[in-house]
Amino acid sequence: MFEQINRRCVLRFVRSALAVGVIGAGAAAQAADIKVGVILPLSGPIAAQGMSTVKGIKAGMQYQDSVNGHKLSMMQLDDASNPSLSTRNARKLISQDNVDVLIGTGGVPGALAIATVAREDKTPLVSFTPINLSGEAAEWAKTTTQSGDVMVSAVVDEMKRNGVKTVGYIGFSDAWGDAAYAALQKHAADAGIKVVANERYARADNSVAAQVLKVMAAKPDAVLGGGAGTPGALPYIGLHERGYKGALYGTHAILSPEFVHLVGKAGEGLIVPTGPALVGDQLADSNASKAIVEQYRKAYKAANGEEPYDVFSAYAFDAWLVVANAAKQVPSNIEPGTPAYRTALRDAINKTQKLAATEGVITFKPDDAYGVGKDSVVIVKLQKGQWMLQK
Amino acid sequence: MDPTIAFILLTDGLAGSALYLIIGLGLVLIFSVTRVIFVPFGSIAVFAALSLGAMELGRLPAAIPLIGLFVLLALFMECLRMRRQHSWRQWPRVLGVWGVLPLLPCALAAWASYQSAELVKVAAAVLLAVPLGPLIERVALRPIAHSSVLALLIVALVLDQVLSGLGLLWFGPEGLRTSAALEGSLTLSSGLAINYQTLLTMAVAFGLALVFYVVLQRTRIGKVLHATASNPTGARLVGIRPAFTATIAHLIAALLAGIVGVLISPVATIYYDSGLILTLKAFVAAIIGGMSSYPLTALGALLVGVSESFASFWNSGLKDAIVFGLLIPILVIRSGLAPHHEEEEEGDA
C-alpha cells in the first residue's frame, strides 16, 4: 500500500515538475525575471521587526510585481538577526541565485554587512535600516529610512516652536543613545535650547528611577528620551511616576505598538517625529505621500489580510517601491541577470528623483545612503493611546 | 543630593530589598534542604509576571505550554522509574501527582484569562508558578541529587538558560508591565510620597518572613524541612524521605517566586531574561546569610536593595558592579568568622 502511494506521489511530482518546467521555459522566452534578493531577520532577537518587514515586502509585490514586461521575482532568506549570516546570505543570493538587487535587513549591523557585500560584488542594495554611509561606500547602498540626525533635528524644531528653553536627555548607554544625544546637542545649540541633563541607562535595565530624579533636579522644560522599542518607555514611566509636569519628546525609534501598550498613561502627550505612513488617514490632501500611503494600506491588506500595525512594514514597502521605480528607468536593451543590468539599476536608483513613498519623498544622491529629507518628517503626539498628527 | 531625593532612593531601595528578601528566603530554603543554589528562581518569577501580563491582555499565558512540557518530561521519567523498580501499581498516584495536579493551575489560568477581576488574574499567575518548582526539581535535579554542590550549581545555571530560552520562544522578546494592584501614593509632606504599591511590597515581604519563621519553627512540615537541612542522614533515619522534602521546598519556593513576579511586574519592566539578575542580587543577600540564616539573609537583602538604589543614583552604569562588589568584603569577613566550614561539609557529603 505504501508503495502504491509512493508511486502515485512520484508520478504527481514528475507531472507537476514538468508543468512548472514548461511554464518556466515559456516565461523565459518572453522576458527574464528581475530577481530581487530579500534578506530579513525572521528569527532571533529582532524577529518581530522581521515579521513586520516581510509583510511590507509582500504588500510591495501586491502593489507592483512587474516592470516593463519583466516580472519582479523575490527570493527571501532569513538571517536569524545575525550579521555574519546576513553576509553569507547576501553572497549566496548574488553568486548562486544571480539576483539583480538586494533588499535588507533589519538591524543596523546586518544591513551594514550586506552593504559591504553589495559594494564588493557590485549589486545594488536598498535597505530600510539607518545605515550611516556616505561617499563611495554609499554608491551601491541606499536606505528608505530617515537618518537619526534628520529626525532629532525635526524634534528640536518642534521644541523651539513650542517654546522649550531647556531640555533634559535620558537615553540608552549605547551607540544609539550617543548618536541621538550628539544630534540633540548639535541642533539644540543651533535652536538656542540648552541641554541641561544627560543621563543614560542600559537597554536591559528595569528601572531608571535614579536617572529620572537627576534629570528632574535640573528642572528642564522638556525631556527627550533617547531609547528604542519597549525599553525606550522606561524614562517616560519614571517621569510620570515622579509627577514630572514638563513636555515629553521622543525619537522615531520607539514607534511600535508594544511601546504604546507599555508606556500607557505615562506617555500621554509624548511628541515624536515619524514618516507620513503612521498617520496616513490624518494627512492633508496636499501631502505628497497621502496617495501612496493609501495604496500601501490597500496592498498590505490584500497581501496579508490585516491592517498594517507598525512603521517597519512601510519602510520595507518603500524599499520595494524604490527598486520597482528604478527598474522602470533601466533601458530595455539591457537584460536582467547581467552585470550591465546591475550597474544600470544602481545608476537608476542613484538618480531617484522626488519619488513619493510612504515614509516621505525620496531623492537619492550617489554619495549619500539617505534619501528622505526633513521636509517629509511629520510630528505626531500620543493621545489616549493613538498617534495624532500635529499640524 | 537633597533629603527629598535621599528619601525617594531609600523607599525605592526598601521596595527592592523586600523583593530580594523573598527571593533570598526561597534560595536559602532550597539550598539548605537540597544543596542546590536554585538559579532558575528568578525565571520562575518572570514567568509569573509575564503570565499576568498576558492574562491582562486577554491572552492565554505561555506558561501553560511550559508546564505542559515539564509535565510530559516528569511523567516520562516517572515511567522509567516505575519500569526500573517494577512498581507499575503506582501509576494512578504518579498520574495524579505529576500529571493532573500541575495542570490544575493551568486550567485556573485559562479560565482567569477571560475574567475581568484583576485579583483573580493575580492569584492565577501566582498559582501558575507553583507547579514549575516541583516539576523542575523532578525532571532536572532529583536524578542528580547526590552530586557535588558545584555540579548542582552548574546544572541550575544551565536550567536557567534553558528556561529563559523557552521564555523567549513562548513569551516573545518584548518587555511588559502589569497594572498596579494599588494605584496612588501616600503623601507624607510636600514632595515626600510613597507609592501604595511600594508599601504593599514591603508589607508582603515582612508578612512572608514572619510566616516563614512561624512555619519553620512551629509546624510539622517546618520541622521536617529543618531536620533535612541540618542533618540529611539523620532525617532519613527517622523516616523523612529526602525526595519528599525537596519537592515541598521547591513548592514553597515556587510560590514565593510567583509572589515576587506579581509584585515586581507593576514597578519594573519585565523581559523574558530579567530573572537571572534578580536571582543573582538576592544571591548576594543569601550569601550574607551564609546560605543558611534567614534573619541574616533579611539583613543582606536590606543592604543589597538600599545600596543598589543609591549606587544607581551616583553611577547608574556601575550599579551592578557595586552590588556584586559587596560580595568581596562579605566573603572575606565571613570566611574569617567561620573558617573552612563549607569544605568540611563537602567532605562529609
Domains of chain B: 3-179+194-337 (1.10.3470)
| pLDDT tens sequence across A153-198 | 999 999 999 999 999 999 988 888 888 999 999 999 999 999 999 9
Provide the shortest C-alpha distance from residue B10 to chain A (in Å). Answer: 11
How much is the pLDDT for A15?
56
The rounded percent of chain B whose pLDDT value lies above 90 is 46
| Contact criterion met (CB below 8 Å) for A126 and A346 | no
Q: What CA–CA distance (Å, rounded) separates B61 from B258? A: 14
How much is the pLDDT for A387?
92
Element (H, E) at A11: helix A2-30
| Closest by Cβ to B173, choosing from A48, A208, A233 | A48
Query: Mean pLDDT lowest for which of A2-11, B190-199, B332-341?
Result: A2-11
| Closest by Cβ to B175, choosing from A211, A213, A262 | A262
Write the DSSP assignment of A321-373 as a string of letters: HHHHHHHHHS-TTSPTTSHHHHHHHHHHHHT--SEEETTEEE--BTTBSB-B-
How much is the pLDDT for A14?
52
SS3 A73: strand
Q: What is the mean pLDDT of residues B78-104?
A: 90
How much is the pLDDT for B252?
93
Instruction: Give the residue numbers in A contacting B (CB under 8 Å), as ranges.
Output: 45-48, 173, 199-202, 204-211, 213-214, 217, 229-231, 233-234, 237, 241-242, 258, 261-262, 264
- Taking the CB of residue B15, how many other CB atoms lie within 10 A of it? 27
Q: What CA–CA distance (Å, rounded) separates A151 from A174? A: 18
Place A382 in a pLDDT band, splitting at 50, 70 and 90.
very high
Residues belonging to chain B: 349
- In the numeric block, which cell numbers belong to residue A331? 533601458
How much is the pLDDT for A255?
86
ipTM: 0.71
Residue A111 has pLDDT above 90, yes or no: yes
Q: What CA–CA distance (Å, rounded) separates B254 from B128? A: 9
How much is the pLDDT for B230?
83
Query: Mean pLDDT lowest for which of A8-17, A27-36, A266-275, B88-97?
Result: A8-17
Q: Which residue of B has its CA nearest to A43?
A: B169
State the average pLDDT for chain B: 87
Query: Mean pLDDT lowest for which of A9-13, B117-121, B132-136, B164-168?
Result: A9-13
Q: Which residue of B has its CA nearest to A257?
A: B174
Q: What CA–CA distance (Å, rounded) separates B253 from B26? A: 5
| Contact criterion met (CB below 8 Å) for A155 and A251 | yes
* CA-based nearest residue to A150, from A386, A382, A373, A368: A373
User: B312, A209: Cβ pair inside 8 Å?
Assistant: yes
User: A230, B5: Cβ pair inside 8 Å?
Assistant: no
Query: Mean pLDDT lowest for which of A58-72, A152-166, A201-215, A249-263?
Result: A201-215
User: B313, A264: Cβ pair inside 8 Å?
Assistant: no
Q: What is the mean pLDDT of residues A371-388?
A: 91
| Contact criterion met (CB below 8 Å) for B279 and B23 | yes
Report the C-alpha dihedral over residues A252, A257, A263, A266, rounded to 10 degrees. Answer: 80
How much is the pLDDT for B336?
81
**C-alpha triplet A369, A372, A373: angle, nearest 5°:** 115
Q: What CA–CA distance (Å, rounded) separates B331 from B327? A: 6
To which residue does cell 522599542 refer?
Answer: A229
How much is the pLDDT for B266?
87
Residue A16 has pLDDT above 60, yes or no: no
User: B317, A217: Cβ pair inside 8 Å?
Assistant: no
| Closest by Cβ to A210, choosing from B172, B268, B313 | B313
Q: What is the mean pLDDT of residues B175-179?
A: 81
Residue type, B312: S
| Closest by Cβ to A262, choosing from B177, B312, B316 | B177
Q: What CA–CA distance (Å, rounded) separates B19 from B49? A: 13
How much is the pLDDT for B346?
45
Provide the shortest C-alpha distance from residue B208 to chain A (in Å). Answer: 24
- Taking the CB of residue B111, how many other CB atoms lie within 10 A of it? 11
User: B5, A213: Cβ pair inside 8 Å?
Assistant: yes
Q: What CA–CA distance (Å, rounded) separates B318 from A226? A: 20
pTM: 0.76
- In the numeric block, which cell numbers belong to residue A144? 528608505
To which residue does cell 513576579 refer?
Answer: B261
**Sign of the torsion formed by the C-alpha atoms of A212, A215, A219 and A220:** negative
Q: What CA–CA distance (Å, rounded) separates A86 from A41? A: 9
State the average pLDDT for chain A: 88
Q: Is A144 exposed, middle or buried (0-12, 13-18, 19+ CB in 10 A)?
A: buried
- In the numeric block, which cell numbers belong to residue A186? 548639535
Rg (CA), chain A: 23
Residue B277 has pLDDT above 60, yes or no: yes
| Closest by Cβ to A45, choosing from B173, B270, B309 | B173
Place A29 in a pLDDT band, splitting at 50, 70 and 90.
very low
Q: Which residues of A touch B174 (CB under 8 A)?
A: 48, 229-230, 258, 262
Residue B344 has pLDDT above 80, yes or no: no
Write the DSSP assignment of B222-255 as a string of letters: HHHHHHHHH-HHHHHHTT--HHHHHHHHHHHHHH
SS3 A296: helix
User: B9, A241: Cβ pair inside 8 Å?
Assistant: no
* Cα separations in angstroms, B81 against B36, B74, B87, B347: 22, 10, 8, 29
Provide the shortest C-alpha distance from residue A48 to chain B (in Å). Answer: 8
Answer with the residue of higher pLDDT: B28 or A6: B28
User: A213, B8: Cβ pair inside 8 Å?
Assistant: yes
| Contact criterion met (CB below 8 Å) for A79 and A86 | yes
Interface A-B, measured as beta-carbon pairs within 8 A, has a size of 70
Residue B341 has pLDDT above 60, yes or no: no
Maximum alpha-carbon separation in chain A: 83
| Contact criterion met (CB below 8 Å) for B284 and B28 | no
Q: What is the mean pLDDT of residues B211-230?
A: 86
Q: Which residue of B has its CA nearest to A173?
A: B317
Q: Which residue of B has its CA nearest to A256?
A: B174
Q: What is the mean pLDDT of residues A357-365?
A: 93
Q: What is the mean pLDDT of residues B160-177?
A: 86
Q: Which residue of A has its CA nearest to B308?
A: A210
DSSP H helices, B35-62, are 41-56
- In the numeric block, which cell numbers belong to residue A252? 522615531
Place A222 in a pLDDT band, splitting at 50, 70 and 90.
very high
To which residue does cell 530579513 refer?
Answer: A40
Residue B348 has pLDDT above 60, yes or no: no
How much is the pLDDT for A1?
44
Q: What CA–CA distance (Å, rounded) separates B102 from B63? A: 12
Place A17 in a pLDDT band, splitting at 50, 70 and 90.
low
| Closest by Cβ to B316, choosing from A204, A210, A231 | A210
Q: Which residue of B has its CA nearest to A205?
A: B269
Residue A10 has pLDDT above 70, yes or no: no
How much is the pLDDT for A9?
52
* Residue from B174, B194, B201 whose CB has the most chain A CBs within 10 Å, to mutate: B174
